[in-house]
Structure 1
């Protein structure tokens, strides 16, 4: 994290006292209010006062075994949700985003809806049930700035409540620049020269991958090779869906017997990166090594000792 970047305090309230029930999320000094509810608790969620405010909403679920999302807006979100309860049968979770003081108006909501659709399609993690990207309404320069600031907070809150569809893990090729917020302020970046480099090699299968540890993310570099088998489920467990996602979004492209990373990609852990590269579950702290042959595990231990 760059100097001058301040932490923020997120308050989660589990309304039902259960992690899989309704919850609200708010950030100190942010006017936004986020309500997450399973579809089975929709009646109780819509009875809460914020549900009748002006705002935006996300519907999350699956159709034909594949994840799907819908992004909408409304002057009375509860009314929109009641229509979707009857017209869309695939969603299982709803996220209602309003302002605690109900000071968003219709144009604000339409702007936020348009920007969220843009961001979701740019990231490409979750297919959308929306048609075309809605146009942005005409807002004053100050109002646009306020809505962009609103989104900065929202993009921080959503991953904290396990909604990752706006998290961009594809990184630019060439000199690596790491985003320090969900969409990244341009003046808060870490360059590749400040990162720690690791590599993974499997000579038997002709695999070689390079990665950089930057700002807590394990970023496998563009041009790295990964296993090329199409049976993603064999020996790789929960990472099979991640590989399918990387193939479908074009991060992994076919290169002869292998897949090749067309873009740099930020993994949550060295083990996840190692599993995708090798095609089976591995301990990432032992398979990734520095240029002098030190394992990630030993490198980390040396850092902690210092």
Structure 2
């Protein structure tokens, strides 16, 4: 498949004509993301009639649910799902600007997307079976894997995080062991959380912009906060996926887990809404908020 120069992301929301664009070099992909309420406006775009894959997102009877499919005319398949599937509220159509994907390409992409969604386990799939990968030449497979590599960077920008790997290996990689042997600093800053009344203490590190809670950390055994709290869904998801495993009156992290923010980590551990910038502290007793302010204060200032 010929390599292109940019990616266009179209966000069709309350204003059918409104759109934003972003560039990703050396990628020919085209992503159309829209709520179901704007399905007519979205499917009127020419890219919706291209060959591609798609992801339907919504709520099933027990929580978040997704469906992954492919078609030689994505718009026709979405019209069918508009009648036959009730659960979905948003859709992402993934095609190319020049419509140069063919049937074997999208069958491969569909199979790989389903594989990754099931492996990561962040969101249940309505798909009954996992299709086998079709036969492609080595060059075609390499092209599709490169296509997917960029797609997995793009989708989180749309808040589609079902393909985001949140687990972090507990085993130290060989390269890191070598760095440690040379005396090089490799770990991010350490933070601790203490809630004596709940009988909880926790430890986490800031690694590459993510707040990584270490395996073996204990969390509250049940969500005790209000049902509409932002992170109740994440707490439930981690229980269902086996990241949080019941242990007596508590839950324990079965593996290292990377949160997007200190507040997300604190809320899951405490089982209620929590301000992580105040709950987490350095070994010296500074809150995350104080540590962050101090870190920013020493950055070089640009001349006005």
**Common fold by TM > 0.5:** yes
Aligned-residue offset at 1:97: 0.6
Given that 1:68 and 1:126 are in contact with CA atoms closer than 8 Å, whether structure 2 keeps it comes out as: yes
Tell me how large the CA RMSD over aligned residues is: 2.7
Aligned length, in residue pairs: 285
Name the CA distance, whole Å, in 1 between partners of 2:72 and 2:229: 44
Q: After the TM superposition, which of the residue ranges 287-296 and 214-223 deviates more from structure 2?
A: 287-296
Given that 1:72 and 1:113 are in contact with CA atoms closer than 8 Å, whether structure 2 keeps it comes out as: yes
Please say if 1:150 is aligned against 2:142.
no
Please say if 1:260 is aligned against 2:252.
yes
Please say if 1:54 is aligned against 2:51.
yes
Aligned-residue offset at 1:112: 0.3
Q: Which residue of 2 aligns with 1:171?
A: 168
Counterpart among 2, 26, 36 of residue 29 in structure 1 = 26
Counterpart among 86, 107, 111 of residue 108 in structure 2 = 111
Q: Which residue of 1 aligns with 2:186?
A: 193
- Alpha-carbon spacing, 1:48–1:224, altered in 2? closer, same or farther (3 Å): same
Q: Which residue of 2 aligns with 1:223?
A: 216
**Secondary structure of 1:193's partner?**
coil
**Secondary structure of 1:27's partner?**
coil
Q: Which residue of 2 aligns with 1:299?
A: 291
* Residues 188-223 of structure 1: CA deviation (Å, up to 9, x unaligned): xxx983311111122333212110100111111111
Aligned-residue offset at 1:281: 2.5
Q: Which residue of 1 aligns with 2:241?
A: 249
For structure 2, the residue ranges without an aligned partner over 5 or more in a row are 175-183, 299-304
Counterpart among 248, 273, 290 of residue 282 in structure 2 = 290
Given that 2:67 and 2:127 are in contact with CA atoms closer than 8 Å, whether structure 1 keeps it comes out as: yes
Name the CA distance, whole Å, in 1 between partners of 2:134 and 2:23: 26
Aligned-residue offset at 1:19: 9.1
Please say if 1:125 is aligned against 2:122.
yes
For structure 1, the residue ranges without an aligned partner over 5 or more in a row are 1-7, 178-190
Counterpart among 31, 34, 43 of residue 40 in structure 2 = 43
Q: After the TM superposition, which of the residue ranges 114-123 and 292-301 deviates more from structure 2?
A: 292-301
- Alpha-carbon spacing, 1:131–1:29, altered in 2? closer, same or farther (3 Å): same
Q: After the TM superposition, which of the residue ranges 13-22 and 153-162 deviates more from structure 2?
A: 13-22
* Residues 110-164 of structure 1: CA deviation (Å, up to 9, x unaligned): 0000000011111111111101111001111111111011011111111111211
- Alpha-carbon spacing, 1:35–1:225, altered in 2? closer, same or farther (3 Å): same
- Alpha-carbon spacing, 1:250–1:19, altered in 2? closer, same or farther (3 Å): farther
* Residues 58-115 of structure 1: CA deviation (Å, up to 9, x unaligned): 1111122521111001111122122222221221212111110111111100000000
Aligned-residue offset at 1:11: 5.2
- Alpha-carbon spacing, 1:211–1:259, altered in 2? closer, same or farther (3 Å): same
